[in-house]
């Protein structure tokens, strides 16, 4: 794994207004709260956390589908928020996304060939002949036959559709792909096809991936590094091997203990209660309402991030 930083966030905050509740009035949802992350060229970084922790909002902000309230995003040495129109066009070519649901992310009225041609027609001046050549190359790269180009999405299985979605992400030769729960909508029996394809694209073609998932076994197999997110904050980050062998944060331990075969040494931790609403964030450590090790100071003071390559935000280590 190279250590040149490809994408970086600095103290990123994202918030939005909720719909009106039954009592009226809109609430502010604090979806991402001060996230600073480095994603190195050629690595797979996974963001782990339960539904509602802010990981998908973060992903959307990284590709400019969600505006940030404050903070910075850099792609290479470029400040993404200050890109010119031409710079943004280049950024969009270089940064692609694979969505969770391949049933919804492919237009059912378009043939596969047209789905794959579309990004090239919008973003390049290539001839139709060259575009078709690229489309054929990418469909083969994801393990499908070029005969499938004349078919429609409904004629494929979920795993095949997700491979087509990956081919669409590849046609512009991106350096970086953001994969948001890429296998969670697929049958377990076909998840491995897509997981292995991501691994191959990373190892053979050096494509950098940000993998958003709640599935710790997918992370263990695929990711070089992991960042664990809770209520919009990164609470622990480090190399995958270190996180799985020596988890530090009580929330990481709870996530790992929910899949006992991943780390038999981690004692089973059953969290109390549900994830608090991001519209009503707890004071102090945001995990204190569910933490089995909570101390008085956790309820009022915010722990700072500590550590080198393995970082944690918890008073047990301050
Ligand atoms: Fe638990 Fe306190 Fe650590 Fe937060 S700071 S995770 S409440 S021990």
Tokens of 291: 């933490």
User: Residue 1 pLDDT more than 50?
Assistant: no
Q: What does the DSSP 8-state code read for residue 209?
A: E
Determine contact, residues 315/299, Cβ cutoff 8 Å: no
- Using alpha carbons only, what angle is made at residue 269 by residues 306 and 299, rounded to the nearest 5 degrees? 50
Q: Mean per-residue pLDDT for 142-162?
A: 93
Which protein residue has the closest C-alpha to ligand 1 atom 7? 288
* Ligand 1 centroid, distance to 101 Cα (angstroms): 35
What's the whole-number mean pLDDT along residues 118-139?
A: 96
pLDDT of residue 285: 97
- Of the pLDDT bands very low, low, confident and very high (cuts 50, 70, 90), residue 249 is very high
Residue nearest to atom 3 of ligand 1 (CA): 314
Distance CA 210, CA 258 (A): 23
Q: Point out the ligand 1 atom lying closest to the alpha carbon of residue 291.
A: 1
Rounded Cα–Cα distance for residues 248 and 307 (Å): 11
Task: Find how far residue 214's CA is from the centre of its chain.
Answer: 10
Q: If you search the block for the tokens 């041609």, which residue do you land on?
A: 117
Produce one character per residue of 161-200: b if its CB has 16 or more CB atoms within 10 Å, e if not. bbbbbbbbbbbbebbbbbbbbbbebbeeebbebbbebbee
CA Rg, the chain, in Å? 21
Average pLDDT, the chain: 91
pLDDT of 167 reads 96
Does the beta carbon of 284 lie inside 6 Å of ligand 1? no
**What pLDDT, on a 0 to 100 scale, did the predictor assign at position 205?**
92
pTM: 0.91
How many angstroms separate the alpha carbon of residue 27 from the centre of ligand 1? 27
pLDDT of residue 24: 62
- Asked whether 316 lines ligand 1 (CB < 6 A), one says yes
Taking 90 as the threshold, does the pLDDT of residue 18 lie above it?
no
Is the CB–ligand 1 distance for residue 247 below 6 Å? no
In ligand 1, the atom with minimum distance to the C-alpha of 235 is 6
Q: Is the CB of 176 under 6 A from ligand 1?
A: no
Whether residue 30 contacts residue 286, with contact meaning beta carbons closer than 8 Å, is answered with no
Is 230's C-beta closer than 6 angstroms to any atom of ligand 1?
Answer: no
Cβ of 294 closer than 6 Å to ligand 1, yes or no, is: yes
248, 317 contact by CB (below 8 A): yes
pLDDT, one tens digit per residue, over 261-299 is 766 666 777 788 888 989 899 999 999 999 999 999 999
- Is the pLDDT confidence value at 150 over 50? yes
pLDDT digits (tens, 9 = 90+) for 76-117: 999 999 999 999 999 999 999 998 888 888 999 999 999 999
Residue range 18-22: average pLDDT? Answer: 65
Query: What's the gap in Å between 267 CA and the centre of ligand 1?
Result: 17
The ligand 1 atom nearest the CA atom of 288: 7
**Residue 295 alpha carbon, nearest atom of ligand 1:** 2
Whole-number Å distance, alpha carbon 283 to ligand 1 midpoint, is: 12
The predicted-structure confidence for 43-70, as pLDDT tens digits, reads as follows 999 999 988 889 989 998 998 888 999 9
Atom 6, ligand 1: residue with shortest CA distance: 314
């Amino acid at each position: 794994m190279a250590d040149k930083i490809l994408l970086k966030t600095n103290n990123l905050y994202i918030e939005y207004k909720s719909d009106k509740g039954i009592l009226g009035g809109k609430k502010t949802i604090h979806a991402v709260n001060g996230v600073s992350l480095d994603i190195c060229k050629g690595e797979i970084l996974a963001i782990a956390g339960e539904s509602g922790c802010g990981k998908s909002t973060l992903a959307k902000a990284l590709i400019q589908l969600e505006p940030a309230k404050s903070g910075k995003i850099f792609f290479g040495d470029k400040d993404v928020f200050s890109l010119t129109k031409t710079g943004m066009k280049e950024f969009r070519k270089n940064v692609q996304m694979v969505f969770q649901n391949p049933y919804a992310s492919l237009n059912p009225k378009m043939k596969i060939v047209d789905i794959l041609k579309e990004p090239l027609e919008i973003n390049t001046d290539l001839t139709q002949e060259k575009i078709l050549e690229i489309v054929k190359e990418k469909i083969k790269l994801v393990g499908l036959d070029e005969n499938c180009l004349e078919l429609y999405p409904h004629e494929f299985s979920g795993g095949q559709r997700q491979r087509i979605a990956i081919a669409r992400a590849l046609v512009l030769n991106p350096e970086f792909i953001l994969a948001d729960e890429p296998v969670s909508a697929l049958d377990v029996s076909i998840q491995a096809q897509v997981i292995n394809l991501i691994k191959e694209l990373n190892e053979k073609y050096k494509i950098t991936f940000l993998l958003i998932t709640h599935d710790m076994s997918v992370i263990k197999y695929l990711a070089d590094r992991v960042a664990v997110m809770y209520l919009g904050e990164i609470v622990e980050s480090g190399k995958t091997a270190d996180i799985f062998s020596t988890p530090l944060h009580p929330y990481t331990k709870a996530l790992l203990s929910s899949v006992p075969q991943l780390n038999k040494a981690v004692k089973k931790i059953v969290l109390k209660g549900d994830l608090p609403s991001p519209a009503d964030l707890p004071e102090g450590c945001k995990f204190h309402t569910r933490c089995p090790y909570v101390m008085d100071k956790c309820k009022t003071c915010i722990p700072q991030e500590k550590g080198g390559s393995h970082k944690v935000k918890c008073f047990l280590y301050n």
